Amino acid sequence: MLSREALIDTVHAGDCLEVMADWPDGLADLCYVALPSPEEWRWDAAAARRLDRIQRQARNLGHDTVLGLHIALGDVGTIAYLAFVAERLPALKRVLKPTGSLCVVGDTHAGHYAKVLLDAFFGASNLRGEIIWGPCGTEPEQIDSHHSATWYANDDAHRTDRPTPVVIVAADGTQGGSGGALALAKRVIAATTDHGDVVLDPFCGDALAASAARELGRSAIAIDASAKAHSAGREVGAPLRAGARTSTFASRRPRT
């Protein structure tokens, strides 16, 4: 098993489900999950296989939620998204400290479904806050479309109070762009962690969350299946070291 010290400030290539298999429990203070919108997910043979695995995992805390939503929604991208997340949440929960929290970033299409799934895994009472990020209309309170960052405490016994929800508007007045995503990541990390804490980004993309964590004085651990993302993690303001599994990059793609 890899030690905590060996994992701090590293970037790893591959599917987080496999990469984290030999990681110690209670490693991270925050897990920051930002995945593509369900609108970008397709229902295909791989999604059907994931759903079948969830159906056979009766102990998976998302089992009933995913299957129930599948009955309601049918074979759609949203279910492909939820099955993918539900298959990985047990591992993400395991590597969180009891005092840690998990944050999922979703858009108007995903946020409410993700929240139902997180309720099943962490308990509705452990919902600690929600940040809304999006462009405003002519009136300050009007938001036409948005992303939401919802975070949950890992353990009810260790739950701590956090700030009330706030609204962030991207500096350029638009929802898209890396500037807004970076501002959102900074706000979430600042609100849910302290200096020196460990932030895990299991789907790091262009490593914005890792960059935000390092800038705020946190340690970062990043994972992604994309070679481009792996390179980005090594080029952030305070570069991350290559993780132990990067040599097998080509063979480590998300489980289908």
Among 87-101, 162-176, 201-215, 230-244, the range with the most confident prediction by mean pLDDT is 87-101
* Whether pLDDT at 170 is above 60: no
Per-residue pLDDT of 61-74, as tens digits, reads 999 999 999 999 99
| Residue 142 domain flag | yes
Q: What is the mean pLDDT of residues 151-155?
A: 88
Mean pLDDT computed over every residue of the chain: 80
pLDDT band at 13 (very low <50, low <70, confident <90, very high): confident
Tell the residue number behind the tokens 């789907």, with chain if given: 203
**Full-model pTM:** 0.83
103 has pLDDT over 80: yes
* pLDDT > 90 in the chain, percent: 46
pLDDT at 147: 73
Provide the domain count of the chain. Answer: 1
Domain-located, residue 101: yes
Q: Which of 136-145, 209-218, 237-246 has the lowest mean pLDDT?
A: 136-145
Q: Does 253 reside within a domain? A: no
User: Which residues are CB-contacts of 230 (< 8 A; sequence separation ≥ 6)?
Assistant: 11, 12, 13, 224, 242, 246, 249
- Average pLDDT on 83-97 reads 95
Q: Is the pLDDT of residue 3 over 90?
A: no
CATH number, position 99: 3.40.50.150
Mean pLDDT of 232-254: 50
Residue 77 lies in a domain: no
Where does 58-103 have alpha helices with state H? 63-73, 77-95
Q: Is the pLDDT at 232 greater than 90, yes or no?
A: no
Does residue 91 contact residue 17 with C-beta atoms inside 8 Å? yes
Encode pLDDT of 37-54 as tens digits.
767 789 999 999 999 999
Cβ(138)–Cβ(168) under 8 Å?
Answer: no
Q: In angstroms, rounded to a whole number, what is the distance separating the alpha carbons of residues 123 and 105?
A: 18
Given a cut of 50, whether residue 19 has pLDDT beyond it is yes
Query: Considering the domain boundaries, does residue 188 fall inside one?
Result: yes
Domain around 241:
4-37+93-245
In a domain, 11, yes or no: yes
Q: Looking at the domain assignment, is residue 114 inside a domain?
A: yes
